[in-house]
């Protein structure tokens, strides 16, 4: 509903959320702090269903269900970037959708995303679209090896990716794409992975949390530390990049921008990896370690409320509890200084995000 | 179910909560952090209904509804001390109830409560039961004026109380009791009101938050500051009193003990005012100002989980938003350093607790 006048939400109003995972759950908990209700819409039952005022279990192409959902809420937001374009458009015709569908479309397709970012004069990994084996071979000639072949859409946590090293058969990597449109990305010899989690309000106001430094294991975020151990100028440059991206998307809500830090001749340089148009795992520490959590900040932004202070309370470490990690909950609860969060998922399957913990070292 | 072996709850389990107000709401939000679900039981719809996994709207004497409720939860707790005795007994025969019904009975009747506290060698205001006008006149002769006549049961936030000053007609005060059994309490010339909010675990472990100093307006809590500005020995004595009361009640969960500080010859002395067998308004600052909130601490205690650290993060002030105070939410949200909580109540009636805010001054 871009361009239409929008009322600020008031306590008692209901926010619609697409997706019933842990991000929707933590959004619901944050909305509740501010006296707002949530209505969760998802094809599958999930942990957000346990903490919301209303829930709809229906497919994302069920227009009747979407229509009732839209009628029951003041605005719609979402916890994941793969909201189908039809769903976003259908809802946006009825009720404000934040972040806007343009941000969704941009973030959903790696080719569109990188083209958009480069268009702002911001560096990404070198890339080339790949439609077939001949195209892949040509792209490899141009970008060199190693390189990473990825599906353009629907990839997350390393799914839909294949590394192509010297000697590897490109056809094997291409087959791994399962016939989906792909993109080849040149290898970036990074020293650190960082992310900016920031909010942009309806009035264009911008508030970034301290820069996150991220460690992955098996392509899944394992640990985030904030503030990141980079030069102050690098942190400032990262904030500037995130702000330019958010401004260009006319973004409202919390956005995460993942970046690589590359060191060349002793100087740090930033290369954007990807945008997440939503609250982000690397911002979970803000619940316990910042004046305002990323979840409350997202709610404030989309609801047209004043942004809160993103001030960090010390040095912070967030650790994901993946699969069986969460079975140690009792010992973790007893550990002094640990803030434990469990998502209420029934089964601790390998690779599944079951919870996280935060440690705050106050100054 | 005292004495029976009880299983520790695990993430995914459901806690039953009697009462749907803001305390039940904040208990639900805290339970969710730990991966637990809540089932709220209340005759009236309230703000806790918006953040729970299941809700039952039924009377507290509806045994069929209570029976289904008990069958759906691993244990029952409550947000208010006026749970009817039948309800507590009916549930306790089916499922663990924490804090136990003995704590409820003790806290529900001012006469029983003060007798119990004095029995532990702990000071209260002087008091006398009042059954009729002759008894009231005799009690006034003994305790002097001013004195406060209170209903023995169901009083909170100053309801069911009448001050009797020199010259006042005792019959008017007695009539204000509406025929309910009453107690006369001697006036305590206090300099401060303080409260201990603490948790006792199933294993007898005890963890108190810093001593609260409370200001009331129109008999309703207005401001809490922690730590209270009392001598260290006074704070230690207050903790000791709370612990002895909790031990004597074989208490499990968060308890609040309200006390008066009386200064005699320059020395601070404590007089217990009342016990609240539940999370307490003067502990709301712990959400933002302590390592573990009183709500999470209560959930941990009743669930048989390890108690968390009650460490305070600085100097803290909590201010209740009563009635129209909450209409300023937008300005309060924009104020740096303010943590705002709104309870999602529909109508800002005078005297109604609509939310609270916390300020933390870090060291």
Of B12, B309, B339, the CB nearest to A346: B12
Same domain, B273 and B308: yes
Same domain, B91 and B131: no
Cβ distance A51 to B53 less than 8 Å, yes or no, reads yes
Q: Is the pLDDT assigned to residue B296 strictly greater than 50?
A: yes
Task: Indicate which of B11, B72, B332, B337 best probes the interface with A, i.e. most A CBs within 10 Å of its own CB.
Answer: B11
Same domain, A37 and A142: no
Of B36, B313, B344, the CB nearest to A12: B344
Q: Using pLDDT thresholds of 50, 70 and 90, give the confidence band for residue B221.
A: very high
Same domain, A157 and A229: no
Give the separation between CA B89 and CA A303, rounded to whole angstroms: 45
- Tell me, what CATH number does B298's domain have? 3.30.470.20
**How far, CA to CA in Å, does A22 sit from each of A50, A61, A76, A158, A256?**
11, 22, 17, 19, 17
* Of A54, A76, A97, the domain-final residue: A97
- Tell me, what CATH number does B139's domain have? 3.30.1490.20
DSSP state of A250: T
**ipTM of the complex model:** 0.95
Residue A104 lies in a domain: no
Cβ distance A339 to B291 less than 8 Å, yes or no, reads yes
Q: Is the pLDDT assigned to residue A2 strictly greater than 60?
A: no
Residue B222 lies in a domain: yes
For A198-239, write each residue's pLDDT tens digit.
999 999 999 999 999 999 999 999 999 999 999 999 999 999
| Interface size, chain A vs chain B, as Cβ–Cβ contacts under 8 Å | 108
Cβ distance B306 to A333 less than 8 Å, yes or no, reads yes
| Contact by Cβ (8 Å): A79, A104 | no
* Of A56, A79, A97, the domain-final residue: A97
Same domain, B212 and B349: yes
Does B264 lie at the interface with A, CB-CB under 8 angstroms? no
Q: Using pLDDT thresholds of 50, 70 and 90, give the confidence band for residue B263.
A: very high
Task: Indicate which of A11, A47, A323, A341 best probes the interface with B, i.e. most B CBs within 10 Å of its own CB.
Answer: A11
B63-83: average pLDDT: 97
Same domain, A253 and A323: yes
Residue B116 lies in a domain: no
Range of the domain at B227: 192-361
Q: Is the pLDDT assigned to residue B214 strictly greater than 70?
A: yes
Task: Read off φ and ψ for residue B293, nearest 5 degrees.
Answer: -80, 160
**How far, CA to CA in Å, does A292 sit from each of A170, A239, A317, B88, B344?**
47, 18, 17, 39, 19
Tokens of A26: 């933590």
Cβ distance B342 to A11 less than 8 Å, yes or no, reads yes
Same domain, B222 and B172: no
Quote the pLDDT of residue B265: 94
Same domain, A228 and A349: yes
Tokens of B67: 């029976």
Same domain, B262 and B325: yes
Cβ distance B344 to A25 less than 8 Å, yes or no, reads no
- Tell me, what CATH number does A38's domain have? 3.40.50.20
Same domain, B165 and B83: no
For B177-192, write each residue's pLDDT tens digit.
999 999 999 999 999 9
Same domain, B219 and B344: yes
For B96-131, write each residue's pLDDT tens digit.
999 999 999 999 999 999 999 999 999 999 999 999
DSSP state of B7: P
Residue B64 lies in a domain: yes
Cβ distance B309 to A336 less than 8 Å, yes or no, reads yes
Q: How far is B195 from chain A (nearest CA, A)?
A: 25
Specify the long-range contacts of residues B123-128, CB closer than 8 Å, at least 24 apart: B123/B269, B123/B270, B123/B271, B123/B272, B124/B271, B124/B272, B124/B273, B125/B185, B125/B186, B125/B187, B125/B188, B125/B260, B125/B271, B125/B273, B126/B185, B126/B186, B127/B183, B127/B184, B127/B185, B127/B186, B128/B183, B128/B184
Percentage of chain B beyond pLDDT 90 is 93
Please give the distance of CA B344 from its chain centroid, rounded to a whole number. 21
Q: Is the pLDDT assigned to residue A159 strictly greater than 80?
A: no
A248-254: average pLDDT: 98
Residue B2 lies in a domain: no
Q: How far is A80 from chain B (nearest CA, A)?
A: 21
Q: Is the pLDDT assigned to residue B176 strictly greater than 80?
A: yes
Q: Is the pLDDT assigned to residue B3 strictly greater than 70?
A: no
Q: Using pLDDT thresholds of 50, 70 and 90, give the confidence band for residue B363.
A: confident
Residue B145 lies in a domain: yes
Q: Is the pLDDT assigned to residue B2 strictly greater than 60?
A: no
* Stretch 71-130 of chain A: residues touching chain B, C-beta under 8 Å: none
Does A36 lie at the interface with B, CB-CB under 8 angstroms? yes
| Residue B28 with chain A: CB contacts under 8 Å | 51
Residue B320 lies in a domain: yes
For A93-144, write each residue's pLDDT tens digit.
999 999 999 999 999 999 999 999 999 999 999 999 999 999 999 999 999 9
Residue B292 lies in a domain: yes
* Of A160, A186, A212, the domain-final residue: A186
Report the number of distinct structural domains present in chain B.
3
Quote the pLDDT of residue B157: 64
Same domain, A316 and A280: yes
Task: Read off φ and ψ for residue B88, nearest 5 degrees.
Answer: -65, -45
Does A25 lie at the interface with B, CB-CB under 8 angstroms? yes
Quote the pLDDT of residue A157: 64
């Amino acid at each position: 509903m871009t361009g239409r006048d929008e009322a600020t939400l008031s306590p008692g109003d209901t926010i619609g959320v697409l997706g019933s995972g842990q991000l929707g759950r933590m959004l619901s908990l944050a909305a509740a702090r501010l006296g707002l209700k949530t209505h969760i819409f998802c094809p599958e039952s999930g942990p957000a269903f346990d903490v919301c005022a209303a829930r709809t279990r229906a497919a994302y192409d069920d227009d009747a269900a979407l229509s009732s959902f839209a009628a029951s809420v003041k605005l719609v937001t979402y916890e994941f970037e793969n909201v189908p374009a039809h769903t976003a458009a259908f809802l946006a015709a009825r009720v404000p959708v934040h972040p806007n569908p343009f941000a969704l479309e941009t973030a959903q397709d790696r080719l569109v995303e990188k083209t958009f970012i480069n268009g702002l004069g911001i560096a990404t990994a070198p890339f080339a679209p790949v439609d077939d084996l001949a195209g892949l071979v040509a792209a490899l000639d141009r970008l060199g090896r190693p390189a990473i072949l990825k599906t353009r859409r629907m990839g997350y946590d390393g799914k839909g990716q294949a590394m192509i090293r010297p000697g590897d058969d490109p056809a094997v990597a291409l087959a791994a794409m399962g016939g989906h449109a792909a993109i080849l990305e040149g290898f970036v010899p990074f020293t650190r992975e960082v992310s900016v989690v920031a909010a942009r309000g309806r009035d264009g106001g911008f508030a970034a949390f301290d820069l996150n430094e991220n460690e992955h294991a098996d392509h899944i975020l394992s640990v985030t530390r904030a503030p990141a151990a980079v030069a102050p100028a690098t942190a400032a440059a990262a904030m500037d990049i995130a702000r330019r991206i958010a401004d260009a998307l006319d973004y409202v809500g919390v956005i995460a921008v993942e970046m690589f830090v590359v060191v060349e001749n002793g100087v740090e340089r930033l290369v954007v990896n990807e945008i997440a148009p939503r609250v982000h795992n690397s911002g979970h520490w803000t619940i316990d370690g910042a004046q305002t959590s990323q979840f409350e900040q997202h709610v404030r932004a989309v609801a047209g409320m004043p942004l809160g202070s993103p001030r960090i309370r010390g040095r912070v470490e967030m650790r994901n509890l993946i699969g069986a990690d969460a079975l140690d909950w009792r010992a973790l609860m007893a550990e002094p200084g640990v803030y434990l969060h469990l998502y209420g998922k029934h089964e601790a399957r390998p690779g599944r995000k079951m919870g996280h913990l935060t440690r705050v070292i106050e100054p």
